[in-house]
Amino acid sequence: MITTEFKLTPTDVTTCEACWRAPVEAARVGRGARDLLCLGCAETNAAPRVVLFPPLGVYGLSTKRIEMGKHAGGPPKLPPNPGPALPTPPPTPTTGRPPV
């Protein structure tokens, strides 16, 4: 349902969510969401370009990404070739020159 009788809250956008150019002049209410659109986009039934806060809270974040993230298999692992081992005991700094 599209209406031109609505009230903007301080956190609402003031630019159309579909074209990102014109000021908000209409609201489309439905499916538990409200799209703030210009009259041109409202008349053509344009979809908003980005849904910033879907049910999981972050744009583009899905349940699959949460379960299969970058470190899904426990703590981070060392790279395949970590390089040479650190010297034991560590070298002592000399006066006048920084330690290498």
Model confidence at 70: pLDDT above 80:
no
Query: pLDDT, tens digit, for every residue of 52-62?
Result: 655 555 555 55
Model confidence at 5: pLDDT above 70:
yes
Q: Report domain extents, the chain.
A: 1-47
CA separation, residue 25 to residues 20, 36, 84 (Å): 13, 8, 64
Model confidence at 30: pLDDT above 70:
yes
Judge contact between 31 and 60, C-beta under 8 A: no
Rounded to two decimals, what is the model's pTM?
Answer: 0.49
Q: Is the dihedral of CA 72, 76, 77, 79 positive or negative?
A: positive
